[in-house]
Amino acid sequence: MSKNTTQIKAAVVREKGGPFYIETLTLEAPRRDEVLVRVVATGLCHTDMVARDKGYPVPQPIVLGHEGAGIVESVGADVVKVAPGDSVVLTFLTCGRCRPCRLGRMAHCEKTFPLSFGGARLDGSTATLDGHGEKVHDHFFGQSSFATYALANERNVVKVSGDVPLERLGPLGCGIQTGAGAVMNALNVRPGTSFASFGAGAVGCSAIMAARAVGATTIVAIDIVPSRLEMAKDLGATHAINSKQTNPVEAIRDITGGGVDYSLEASGDPRALHQAIEALGSLGTCGIVGAEPLGTEVSFDVNTLMIQGKGIRGILEGESVPDIFIPQLIELNAQGRFPFEKLTKFYSLDQINQAAQDSEKGGTIKPIIRLSPV
Ligand SMILES: [Zn+2]
Ligand SMILES: [Zn+2]
């Protein structure tokens, strides 16, 4: 091991569908704009499983993981935002140069796909070798944080207060800001209104907590897993609908007296998206955050949409500006108004396959993989 590299322990996916193999790898030192982070813990997100299963064309072998939190170990020569010893949450990486980025709407960065799923830097280079000296893809969401160390970019490290325990904060960088930001930034849910989340997983539950935090007074959770519906009620849902047993559109119309002001499709099921549009009342807006298979189409009644002034919009990463939004969520959490710790369960790196299985079966809403003690 030369002083320009770091030996790391990481979860590597080598074939479509998994499993994660725990391996010792070698990671390059940070480039001029990069930040080497000692990862404390990383959330496991649905998108990690999509990449493991090649639902998106992600190259393998690869180190996944995109909800990391940790301590800055070293920085490249051009980095000014953070210094060694700083506590950081890692988030999605954006280019900073395209039109959405220049508008401050970086969640819709035009380079999102290659930066998140390319398995390399934008110039095609990687920084990770396995025990045989073979290339392992990395830079997943600009971090690849299922590892004891991750190479992020200055743009996707969010500095947070050193007083806050880091190990639960990683999911703020993706799943939790996706749900909360959809409500607070994109849909801009108003006090006294009604909101329905189709899906009560990590994203849906985060949206429900946010809807309560901003003062929505009717909050409906729709899911097919009873334990998730219980969790949603605990987090602020005023109504819970099991869509296996009850037609959610009719139920929402009954509850709201005609239709809901805001609906969110957070399940990735095209039938749920159709229902989320149908359940809207006049002037209602449906936000889409659930990832569907590429090429999915969903129909809606054009005249109903037009006459009733309804809207449908796609939302990525909660349309957040992470440097601003993540500290806001941490403060809301500290005040007890955004208790996302209720969603989390910890696993060791060796238990990552179990964590994935528990999450897919619905028993664990947000698994967090511990990489190293603080
Ligand atoms: Zn961009
Ligand atoms: Zn994610």
CATH number, position 299: 3.40.50.720
The upper half-sphere exposure of residue 180, i.e. CA atoms within 13 Å in the direction of its Cβ, equals 28
C-alpha distances in Å from residue 154, one per residue of 61, 159, 164, 186: 25, 10, 21, 25
Q: Looking at residue 163, what is its pLDDT?
A: 84
Question: Does the residue 83 lie in any domain?
Answer: yes
Distance 92 CA to ligand 1 centre (A): 11
pTM here? 0.95
Q: What is the residue whose two structure tokens read 């813990």? A: 41
- 259 and 114: one domain? no
Question: Does the residue 328 lie in any domain?
Answer: no
- 138 and 183: one domain? no
Name the DSSP class of 145. Answer: -
SS3 358: helix
Distance 65 CA to ligand 2 centre (A): 8
Q: Looking at residue 373, what is its pLDDT?
A: 57
C-alpha distances in Å from residue 47, one per residue of 102, 109, 255, 360: 26, 18, 33, 11
Name the DSSP class of 91. Answer: -
Q: Looking at residue 364, what is its pLDDT?
A: 94
Count of domains forming the chain: 2
Distance CA 56, CA 292 (A): 11
- 285 and 346: one domain? no
- 183 and 168: one domain? no
C-alpha distances in Å from residue 88, one per residue of 80, 116, 227, 323: 14, 19, 32, 10
Give me the residues of the chain with pLDDT under 70, please.
Answer: 1-3, 373-374
Residue 138's domain is classified under what CATH number? 3.90.180.10
Taking the CA atoms of the chain, what radius of gyration do you get in angstroms?
A: 20
Kindly give, in sequence order, each residue whose CB lies less than 8 Å from that of residue 263, ignoring residues fewer than 6 positions away. Answer: 195, 196, 197, 198, 252, 276, 277, 279, 280, 284, 285, 286, 287
SS3 159: strand
Inter-axis angle of helices 226-235 and 202-214, nearest 10: 20
Name the DSSP class of 35. Answer: E
Distance 262 CA to ligand 1 centre (A): 28
Distance CA 161, CA 337 (A): 18
Question: Are the C-beta atoms of residues 200 and 304 closer than 8 Å to each other?
Answer: no
How many C-beta neighbours within 10 Å does residue 348 have?
12
Bridge partners (DSSP) listed for residue 42: 68, 369
Question: Are the C-beta atoms of residues 72 and 198 closer than 8 Å to each other?
Answer: no
- 227 and 207: one domain? yes
The upper half-sphere exposure of residue 58, i.e. CA atoms within 13 Å in the direction of its Cβ, equals 35
Distance 118 CA to ligand 1 centre (A): 15
- 64 and 199: one domain? no
Residue 86: domain span: 5-173+339-370
Q: Looking at residue 70, what is its pLDDT?
A: 97
Distance 95 CA to ligand 1 centre (A): 4
Distance 298 CA to ligand 2 centre (A): 23
Kindly give, in sequence order, each residue whose CB lies less than 8 Å from that of residue 346, ignoring residues fewer than 6 positions away. Answer: 41, 167, 367, 368, 369, 370
Q: Looking at residue 1, what is its pLDDT?
A: 40
Whether the bond into 61 is cis, omega within 30 of 0 = yes
Question: Are the C-beta atoms of residues 51 and 118 closer than 8 Å to each other?
Answer: no
Inter-axis angle of helices 248-256 and 270-278, nearest 10: 30
- 159 and 211: one domain? no
- 15 and 162: one domain? yes
Q: Looking at residue 2, what is its pLDDT?
A: 45
- 151 and 17: one domain? yes
Q: Looking at residue 165, what is its pLDDT?
A: 87
Distance 129 CA to ligand 1 centre (A): 28
Distance 191 CA to ligand 2 centre (A): 28
- 126 and 184: one domain? no
Distance 97 CA to ligand 1 centre (A): 5
